[in-house]
Structure 1
Amino acid sequence: MQDHEIARTASYDHLSELIQRYGWAVKGVVDQGTPWYYTIGLSRRNHPELVVVGLSPEEAASLLNQLALAARGGVNVLDTTALAAAWGHPKVFLQLRQVDPTWSDTNLFNTVRSYLGAVPPAYQVVLADIEGHFPWDEGHSLGFEQRVLWEPWPEGWPGLAEGENR
């Protein structure tokens, strides 16, 4: 299966079509500074939704679609060793961190909230550099920002859902 497109609009018909065809869709948010992309629909199949930050649209779609395909094939997406084995990688270059619930109240999850009725549990896919260093490791040199979504939404940042106060 080829990587399917990223849903560039919040069109429910378009999202429904992608989710019906593949079991999920990938949505991009590029107007909040660092781009980030997330799945919509995996939670309907008893998997968490997945988020990746800082990649290009093509890289994000490829990564999230590979993870979603592995999940659809029976791999537990929370088991990064199993994911690496499913891809044939000898080393794990990603970790999954649960997105802090405070991010669910932000505009960044508007589409998933609107489409699914709520923001289900989501995990951020955190990438290591070629040497296996993660952003919190000394010597990390991936070269792009991976916003930390597993920590609470920073007080005073813009992006709260309409009517929300924090």
Structure 2
Amino acid sequence: MDERERFDARVTAVVRRYGWFVQYVLGDTCSSTTCGCSRTGVPAYAYSIGLFGLGHPELVVFGLPPDTAGGVINALGRRVRAGGILIPGEVLTFDEWAHRVRPEALPDAGELALGAHRYYRREVPLLQLSYDDRAGRFPWEPDHAAPHLQPRPGTFRPPGPTS
């Protein structure tokens, strides 16, 4: 069994047990505006694999550390598993996280969630979870603290393989 087959088997086992899997994709965007580092500006992101099997679009969130991204997706996955439907434009709150989230339709899932597409052997729909900053502003609003961490739906393209 090669590495991809082992990964696919792990995803399948987790989806069967919990209902979904959270895939985290490393980025290289610095969250500080004053670090002086030479990052290329690719934000990290996480997405679900398995919610489509529950009759719901998969979820993707950008610019959060792994534990936070997984916590957000897991909290919303539990809502979906309990029969909830996340509607684009609705504002969601959490008991365990101070930020608000707004699901947005993602017009082109493309290569963003390859693991989910491979799992279902087709391109599946995605909702992008946009969250507010500490001042309560969403990334499309003026003076948002870090809009570079949350590309607008349909504008992000993962980098290709390095040569």
Where on the TM-score scale, by shorter chain, does this alignment land: which range?
Answer: 0.7 to 0.9
Show the counterpart of 2:139: 135
Distance in 1 between residues matched to 2:18 and 2:58, nearest whole Å = 14
What's 1:57 paired with?
A: 66
Distance in 2, matches of 1:97 and 1:10, equals 32
Deviation at 1:122? 0.3
| Alignment check: 8 A CA contact 1:35 1:53 kept | yes
Q: Which one-letter code corresponds to 1:42 in the other structure?
A: L
* Alpha-carbon distance, 1:100 to partner: 2.1
1:139 to partner: Cα distance: 2.4
* Structure 2, unpaired ranges of 5+: 29-41
Tell me what 1:75 maps to.
Answer: 84
In the alignment, what sits opposite 1:151?
154
Distance 2:70 2:159 in 1: 26
Query: How far, CA to CA, are the matches of 2:62 and 2:75 in structure 1?
Result: 16
Report what 2:57 is aligned to.
Answer: 48
Give the alignment's TM-score, normalised by structure 2. 0.75
SS at match of 1:97: strand
* Closer/same/farther in 2, CA of residues 54 and 48 from structure 1, 3 Å limit: same
Q: Distance in 2 between matches of 1:153 and 1:29?
A: 13
- Contact kept? 2:102, 2:131, Cα under 8 Å: yes
Residue matched to 1:100? 107
Q: Please report the RMSD computed on the Cα atoms of aligned residues, expressed in angstroms.
A: 2.8
Kindly indicate which of the two structures has a greater share of residues assigned to helix: 1
Residues of 2 paired with 1:109 and 1:20: CA distance? 19
Give SS of 1:58's match.
Answer: helix
Cα distance change on mapping 1:28 and 1:43 into 2, 3 Å: same
Aligned CA distance change for structure 1 residues 41 and 10 (closer, same or farther; 3 Å): farther
Residue ranges of structure 1 left out of the alignment (5+ in a row) = 1-8, 161-166
Are the aligned partners of 1:28 and 1:38 in contact in 2 as well (CA < 8 Å)?
yes
TM-score normalised over the length of structure 1: 0.73
1:116 to 103, 120, 133: 120
SS at match of 2:22: strand
What letter corresponds to residue 134 of structure 2 in structure 1? I
State the alpha-carbon separation in 2 of the partners of residues 127 and 10 from structure 1. Answer: 33
